[in-house]
Structure 1
Amino acid sequence: MPRGRDLPESLSESAAELVVELRTVKSRSGLTLVALERKTAYSKSSWERYLNGRTLPPADAVRALCTVAGCDPVPLVALREVAAADAAVRKEWEERKEREERADLDEQDERDEGGERGDGLGQGAGPLSPSAHVATEPDPVPRTAGDPGPWWRRWPALVVLGAGVAVAGGVLAAEPWQSESRAAAPRSPFTSAHDGPYVWGREASYPCRIQQHSGRTYAGHSGTHQTVLAHNSTSWDVVEAQCLLHEAGFDPGAVDGVYGPRTEQAVKRLQAKAGIEDDGLVGPDTWKVLRG
């Protein structure tokens, strides 16, 4: 089945690749959706959603398909985990963007309301009543043009001034880790080398900030010990693995977050030297070796 056919445009590259692989397995097996429903614990409608890219299949569903179709489930399960991680990162980024947009709208509404209240007394309310004139008589003590008046008449300005000082203080406090100087004082061993979700870029390259924490090695991009990485996956976890491979003396090529052939070969060499299965997949055992 051609790649991308009838797939939602919102699918990540890893999720789209997973769907294509699942479709290929199903096509080669000759199994219909009805047969899959009968031979697995998942309904026909569930398989339709999985194979159309509308729902990410659970790992058990991927294993079940390989069981009845006679394929190796390990690469597909690994690809499924990568797709799940990409989906989680994208969801977190979208939620963060939505919160920021909502905060901007709330701030604009507050400014608009404040402007309406400050446009003048009784605006649009008609002439003042006699009682209103009594209530708004001038102060018995005359004021000069430079006299701002009693403190209670100046409290809005004081509030605004205090808020401005607080905001300025927050900016100064935040600046050290938002600027390039944050390398001297990283926020954590997991994310000190980057801000925001991973976004692939052509010829991108990321720094490796090797640190030791609790006897384990980190490079500042991810603190994972479990995430499974497979060929063609892209994420901060891949950047972390590439940095740690460099640190261990196994050249993965460019530190770009793309799990390509050179990275896979470096992983296999590391696995062979460590005496673990050299399948080229970065899983819990390989992370243990990378972390030291």
Structure 2
Amino acid sequence: MSRWKALPAELDPRARHLVVSLRRLKDHSGLSMRQLAAKTGYSTSSWERYLGGRSLPPKEAVEAVAAVAGEDPTRLLALWEVASAAWTGRRTSPAAATANDGAPTGAAPGPPARRRPPRGAVVAGVVAFVLVVASAALLVARAAGDDEGRARPPAVSQAAPAGVEVSPTATSYTCRVERADGQWFAGLSRTQDAILANGHAGAHVAEAQCLLRRAGFPPGDIDGIYGPRTERAVQRLQQREGLVVDGIVGPHTWGALRG
């Protein structure tokens, strides 16, 4: 497995999901960065930006890497749709994006002119605003200790990626940790590949919290809410196990938790 650099701390968790999935697909393909560039038609420097979390890859690049790796692109494209909403304000104009990706840029742009914002940018901005408001409301409810007042964030039009459990009502969980078939289980979930990140909640999160505590990285209360303390515990586990330290629980981190 490649030793990837840590992703930028300011990168939105939804964008992290996409980048981490692309990194894993690249690792599983066995291709070098130069070979990946040759097979997909996107330059090596472009892939370094995409896989480093510095810019959002075009949808066509996501489809290309899935084709090269022999994977169904459906799940990756769902991740891309969610990540594109999180990348509001960082996306370049179509002409600049084409130039960055090494494709022909066409005629030079004319002088700046006032124009309406693209409809996609407006929709993405509204989605991002709704998510920020929902996150703030959740934090306020937790600070007040109102367990019954923890409301789930408003639904957005973007479909959640497969395997991601997003913000059900908070509850309390009991860890029943036991060893079975060479793996650790806490009696709340038997998943091996659910993707979890800051802001998620539910039984998968509680299972991870129980196993983090068993591994010596206490995440705080076993409340099924993936907050900052759980994220820090995951990062410490990843650092010890030599994994990508991104604070996201995916197949490799589940392997470390259950192993």
Q: Do they superpose with TM above 0.5?
A: no
Higher helix fraction (1 or 2): 1
Larger RCO of the pair (alpha carbons < 8 Å, separation 6+):
2
Structure of larger gyration radius = 1
